[in-house]
């Protein structure tokens, strides 16, 4: 059994804050500051260039990738870190399209995170030649995979509503139609049990600064199924994905397996923070995290629906059909969220009308959830959000 008191003690949470936004940016693992300081002072400062070998910086993207792999059902040697999620989406898409040369369609859904759609669209424009992105409503994806589709590109957990796609079912449908399946795990990794191997996913990508708590700008990851890995041609064929980067050959030869999905110099300091963050995961069982998450979200939904009838649940009511967040709709969602934040309850707002709350059992328990519900009920009952200062929109929420 996971000891959630122990995991909670591994995070720093500011006084007076109930943090329900770990699905946007995870909080600081206490060990991260010291781990990064060691990278800076003992490694960079003392080893200088030799840190690439001595401190293991060069292998860090694969070493850390394996630790992420354990959380998403990916065997060792199939996950590598680097770049941002958007860049990893582009890599996966470009490789997948090349593996299905007769087909021109990327199928996604309208609930996907915009950056994934933008990257797909940008790639199609670069490719020309009839390549296009087709989006359908999330519930229509299953019926929309036809023999024009080269690849499905889906985010398992909807960033607005928390709605969960059935990864195994949709992957099987893609394969049945001769297409490949790319899964974006931005709101899955560290949030829910993921079994890439069991689902037969071809590619997966994700970020680490949400439920994995790597800090602002932490690196992304990419997974390539083992049976594809040696056949994939990297579109972003950077030197660290080369078979022998330090031979400085004139011609590109892809590295072994997943190594070829590396591009440039890895972000050593961000990776150090991620390493500290993953130590927390060594103490947690994903099944326990999921069970506790369901307990928290069910309690939150029941409490909010009882106390705040003016809020409309935007997430699936069946806990097995949503990730680890709960969203409600309200036309004044932005102002309501500002009123909550002013009272120490941090969630976030997503246009046009979504109040989003993330539930992260590693450091959030029933007490905080109850306290957050009470504050939300007070804000709604008293219309406390109805003040001009809560309606002025900042650039980022």
The set of catalytic residues is 113, 184, 209-210, 356
**268 or 379: CB nearest its own copies:** 268
**215 is a contact residue toward its own copies (CB under 8 A):** yes
Task: Provide the minimum distance between the beta carbon of 396 and its own copies in the complex, in angstroms, as a whole number.
Answer: 4
Q: Which of 10, 18, 28, 164 binds its own copies (CB under 8 A)?
A: 28
Task: Provide the minimum distance between the beta carbon of 151 and its own copies in the complex, in angstroms, as a whole number.
Answer: 15
**33 or 177: CB nearest its own copies:** 33
Task: Provide the minimum distance between the beta carbon of 58 and its own copies in the complex, in angstroms, as a whole number.
Answer: 6
**41 or 383: CB nearest its own copies:** 41
**32 is a contact residue toward its own copies (CB under 8 A):** yes
- Chain positions 179 to 198 lying near its own copies, rule: CB under 8 A, are none
**233 or 310: CB nearest its own copies:** 233
Q: Which of 162, 219, 319, 361 binds its own copies (CB under 8 A)?
A: 219
Task: Provide the minimum distance between the beta carbon of 73 and its own copies in the complex, in angstroms, as a whole number.
Answer: 24
Task: Provide the minimum distance between the beta carbon of 217 and its own copies in the complex, in angstroms, as a whole number.
Answer: 4
Q: Distance between CA 188 and CA 133 in Å, rounded?
A: 23
**37 is a contact residue toward its own copies (CB under 8 A):** yes
Which tokens sit at 176?
């049945």
**235 is a contact residue toward its own copies (CB under 8 A):** yes
Each residue 345-374 as x (binds its own copies by CB under 8 A) or -, in order, gives -x-x-xx-----------------------
**43 or 156: CB nearest its own copies:** 43
- Chain positions 248 to 277 lying near its own copies, rule: CB under 8 A, are 248-252, 263-271, 273
Q: Segment contacting its own copies (CB under 8 A): 63-71, 149-157, 320-328, 389-397?
A: 389-397
- Chain positions 137 to 176 lying near its own copies, rule: CB under 8 A, are none
- Chain positions 57 to 76 lying near its own copies, rule: CB under 8 A, are 57-58
CA end-to-end distance (rounded Å), the chain: 35
**125 is a contact residue toward its own copies (CB under 8 A):** yes
Task: Provide the minimum distance between the beta carbon of 1 and its own copies in the complex, in angstroms, as a whole number.
Answer: 28
**85 is a contact residue toward its own copies (CB under 8 A):** yes
Q: Segment contacting its own copies (CB under 8 A): 1-9, 66-74, 195-203, 234-242?
A: 234-242
Q: Which residues pair with 254 in a beta bridge?
A: 242
**50 is a contact residue toward its own copies (CB under 8 A):** yes
**377 is a contact residue toward its own copies (CB under 8 A):** no
Answer yes or no: are the C-beta atoms of 89 and 114 closer than 8 Å.
no
Task: Provide the minimum distance between the beta carbon of 215 and its own copies in the complex, in angstroms, as a whole number.
Answer: 5
**72 or 119: CB nearest its own copies:** 119
> Is 70 exposed, middle or buried (CB count within 10 Å of its CB: 0-12, 13-18, 19+)?
middle
**1 is a contact residue toward its own copies (CB under 8 A):** no
Instruction: Return the number of other C-beta atoms located less than 10 Å from residue 103's C-beta.
Output: 21
- Chain positions 293 to 322 lying near its own copies, rule: CB under 8 A, are none
Cα atoms found within 13 Å of the Cα of residue 371, Cβ hemisphere only: 14
């Amino acid at each position: 059994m996971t000891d959630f008191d122990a995991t909670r003690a591994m995070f720093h949470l500011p006084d007076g804050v109930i943090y329900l936004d770990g699905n946007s940016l995870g909080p600081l693992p206490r060990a991260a500051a010291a781990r990064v300081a060691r990278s800076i002072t003992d490694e960079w400062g003392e080893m200088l260039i030799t840190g690439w070998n001595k401190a293991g910086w060069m292998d860090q993207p694969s070493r850390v990738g394996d630790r992420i792999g354990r959380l998403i059902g990916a065997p060792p040697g199939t996950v590598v870190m680097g770049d941002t999620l958007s860049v990893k989406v582009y890599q996966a898409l470009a490789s997948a399209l090349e593996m299905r040369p007769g087909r021109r369609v990327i199928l996604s859904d309208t609930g996907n995170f915009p950056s994934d759609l933008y990257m797909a669209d940008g790639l199609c424009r670069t490719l020309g030649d009839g390549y296009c992105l087709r989006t359908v409503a999330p519930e229509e994806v299953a019926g929309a995979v036809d023999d024009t589709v080269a690849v499905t590109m889906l985010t398992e957990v909807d960033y607005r509503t928390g709605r969960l796609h059935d990864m195994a079912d949709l992957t099987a449908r893609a394969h049945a139609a001769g297409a490949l399946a790319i899964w974006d795990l931005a709101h899955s990794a560290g949030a829910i049990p993921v079994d890439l191997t069991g689902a037969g996913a071809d590619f997966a990508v994700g970020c680490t600064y949400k439920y994995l708590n790597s800090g602002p700008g932490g690196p992304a990851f990419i997974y390539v199924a083992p049976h594809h890995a040696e056949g994939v041609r990297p579109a972003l064929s950077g030197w660290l994905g080369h078979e022998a980067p330090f031979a400085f050959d004139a011609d590109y030869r892809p590295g072994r397996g997943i190594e070829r999905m590396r591009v440039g110099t890895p972000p050593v300091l961000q990776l150090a923070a991620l390493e500290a963050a993953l130590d927390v995961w060594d103490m947690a069982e994903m099944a326990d995290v999921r069970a506790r998450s369901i307990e928290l979200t069910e309690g939150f939904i029941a409490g909010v629906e009882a106390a705040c009838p003016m809020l409309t649940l935007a997430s699936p009511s069946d806990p097995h059909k949503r990730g680890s967040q709960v969203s409600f709709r309200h036309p004044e969602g932005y102002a309501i969220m500002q009123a909550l934040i002013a009272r120490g309850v941090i969630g976030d707002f997503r246009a046009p009308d979504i109040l989003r709350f993330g539930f992260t059992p590693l450091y959030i328990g029933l007490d905080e959830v109850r306290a957050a519900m009470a504050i939300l009920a007070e804000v709604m009952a008293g219309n406390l959000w109805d003040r001009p200062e809560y309606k002025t929109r900042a650039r980022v929420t």
